[in-house]
């Protein structure tokens, strides 16, 4: 196997114990066709020299990687789904394939599957993933990375030659197995499972494992559970702000869809906002708008409370409450810092930064149906350094309205951060790269009707152009 010197497998989760995961086998697929490999992520993991046959062996057939854990592990967890507790969850169509150190960050990365077959937690399902679902996830992770939001990476997409029956799309439909990279597979629901069974010993072991492996700076904390919750609150505040500033609607913010490293993953019925709308809902089955765009911070905080509830078996309520109470302030700070980042501006002090963020959101709200979400940030990237470009573009008349005049006046107080980014060809375009539903459906239509992957490849290239142009710092 042609791995590089960057390839560094480890097995910490496999060593955690039998109460945390079950060994499983992948399904036997009739035909494996490589559709996507993320070469930039593969390079960080030392996997970039694999030829396509080796790639399919490990990420299609799902044979263990050399030196990595020998067993494929379906992780055990519970969770709240639309705020109803479900003790019958767990990895129902995926497993942990390997854990590798990433270069140059040295962070531990988990490689996990989706659509790899049935497990003890499939609950009557077939354990498969539709090819459309895999395509949608690859696009979502690319777009969120481009916009600076913490996200998993889609490492691989292999079509499996199966025909699936699904009630929510025309059937039969094609199937795939997806491999994602995350910085942890441990979810809020992992803690909830052991709290449900009143296993203080397992909660303690899990907490110490997470601190030792993922947050070693906290490993010697006097109160490990409170320290862990505090770090999760910090990182989750940044994650939530990242979603909001990207105009991203997760769709299914259940506790089993949140991990302990503040990272977005497992993309189902997500949507990106066409326009500013706090009531915008991604999932057709979210009829009460529980996870609407504007309610996402509330939903995340509710989930953090459930994690705290699980940890309360091994920590005082007061210590946990102290950590939870930090979320609102941390979220506001992350929103302000994130707004400056999205607008390509340097700080002018806490008060001025907050006023700019508020002015920007007022302008977005005033734009209504005439202003799509992403073009606002594209037009005003690097502040007044883009004023001539914005005022000669397709939204120039809108930017002469009162709310935008106030926003432009605020911009005068800020210096551009790395204004040389505006020289890239991306900012010579009249429109930014977006990932709205019609574009996703168009990509899929070409694949479904003609097996034409050109639009998919071009969309990923266009999103990557945006990523390189914005050049947002990525948490690695």
> What string of pLDDT tens digits covers the 476 residues of the chain?
677 889 999 999 988 989 999 999 999 999 999 999 999 999 999 999 999 999 999 999 999 999 999 999 999 999 999 999 999 999 999 999 999 999 999 999 999 999 999 999 999 899 999 999 999 999 999 999 999 999 999 999 999 999 998 877 788 999 999 999 999 999 999 999 999 999 999 999 999 999 999 999 999 999 999 999 999 999 999 999 999 999 999 999 999 999 999 999 999 999 999 999 999 999 999 999 999 999 999 999 999 999 999 999 999 999 999 999 999 999 999 999 999 999 999 999 999 999 999 999 999 998 888 899 999 999 999 999 999 999 999 999 999 998 899 999 999 999 999 999 999 999 999 999 999 999 999 999 999 999 999 999 999 999 999 999 999 987 65
Catalytic residues: 256
Share of the chain above pLDDT 70, in %: 99
Q: Please give the Cα distance from 211 to 16 (Å, whole number).
A: 13
Integer angstrom CA distances of residue 363 from 244, 373, 398, 413, 419: 15, 11, 10, 17, 23
Q: Please give the Cα distance from 136 to 250 (Å, whole number).
A: 13
Q: Is 232 helix (H, G, I), strand (E, B) or coil?
A: helix
Name 34's Cβ contacts closer than 8 Å, sequence gap at least 6.
Answer: 52, 55, 56, 60, 156, 157, 158
> Angle 78-107-101 (CA atoms, 0-180°, nearest 5)?
100
Its pTM stands at 0.96
369-422 tens-digit pLDDT? 889 999 999 999 999 999 999 999 999 999 999 889 999 999 999 999 999 999
159-183 tens-digit pLDDT? 999 999 887 778 899 999 999 999 9
Secondary structure of 143-205 in HEC code, one letter for each residue: HHHHCCCCECEEEEEEEEEEEECCCCCCCCEEEEEEEEEECCCCEHHHHHHHHHCCCHHHHHH
Crossing angle for the helix pair 224-246 and 317-324, to the nearest 10 degrees: 20
Do residues 49 and 275 lie in contact, with contact meaning Cβ atoms separated by under 8 Å? Answer: no
80-98 tens-digit pLDDT? 999 999 999 999 999 999 9
Do residues 191 and 303 lie in contact, with contact meaning Cβ atoms separated by under 8 Å? Answer: no
């Amino acid at each position: 196997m042609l791995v590089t010197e960057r390839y560094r497998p480890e097995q910490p989760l496999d060593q955690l114990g039998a109460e945390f995961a079950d060994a499983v086998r992948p399904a036997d697929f009739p035909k494996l066709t490589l559709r996507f490999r993320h070469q930039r992520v593969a390079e960080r993991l030392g996997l970039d020299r694999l030829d396509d046959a080796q790639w399919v062996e490990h990420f299609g057939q799902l044979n263990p990687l050399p030196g990595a854990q020998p067993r494929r592990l379906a992780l055990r967890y519970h969770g709240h789904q639309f705020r109803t507790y479900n003790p019958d969850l767990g990895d129902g169509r995926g497993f942990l394939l390997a854990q590798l150190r990433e270069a140059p960050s040295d962070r531990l990365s988990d490689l996990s599957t989706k659509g790899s077959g049935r497990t003890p937690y499939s609950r009557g399902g077939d354990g498969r993933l539709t090819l459309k679902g895999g395509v949608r996830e690859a696009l979502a992770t690319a777009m969120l990375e481009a916009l600076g939001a913490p996200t998993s990476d889609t490492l691989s997409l292999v079509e499996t030659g199966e025909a699936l029956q699904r009630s929510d799309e025309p059937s039969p439909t094609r199937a795939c197995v997806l491999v994602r990279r995350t910085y942890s597979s441990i979810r809020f629901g992992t803690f909830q499972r052991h709290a449900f069974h009143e296993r203080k010993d397992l909660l303690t072991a899990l907490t110490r494992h997470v601190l030792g492996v993922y947050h070693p700076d906290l490993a010697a904390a006097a109160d490990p559970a409170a320290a862990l919750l505090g770090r999760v609150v910090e990182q989750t505040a940044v994650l939530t702000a990242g979603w909001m500033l990207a105009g991203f609607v997760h769709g299914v913010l259940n506790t089993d869809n949140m991990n302990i490293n503040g990272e977005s993953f497992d993309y189902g019925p997500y949507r990106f906002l066409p326009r500013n709308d706090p009531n915008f809902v991604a999932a057709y089955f979210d009829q009460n708008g529980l996870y609407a765009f504007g309610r996402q911070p509330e939903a995340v905080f509710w989930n953090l409370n459930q994690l705290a509830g699980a940890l309360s078996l091994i920590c005082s309520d007061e210590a946990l409450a102290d950590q939870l109470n930090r979320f609102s302030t941390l979220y506001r700070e992350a929103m302000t810092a994130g707004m400056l980042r999205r607008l390509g501006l340097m700080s002018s002090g806490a008060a001025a930064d907050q006023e700019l963020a508020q002015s920007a959101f007022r302008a977005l709200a005033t734009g209504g149906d005439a202003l799509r979400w992403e073009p606002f940030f594209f037009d005003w990237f690097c502040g007044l350094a883009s004023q001539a470009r914005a005022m000669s573009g397709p939204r120039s008349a809108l930017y002469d309205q009162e709310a935008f005049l106030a926003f432009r006046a605020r911009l005068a107080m800020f210096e551009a951060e790395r204004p040389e980014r505006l020289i890239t060809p991306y900012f010579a375009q009249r429109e930014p790269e977006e990932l709205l539903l019609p574009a996703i459906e168009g990509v899929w239509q070409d694949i479904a009707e003609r097996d034409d992957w050109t639009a998919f490849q071009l969309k990923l290239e266009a999103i990557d152009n945006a990523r390189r142009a914005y050049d947002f710092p990525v948490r690695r």
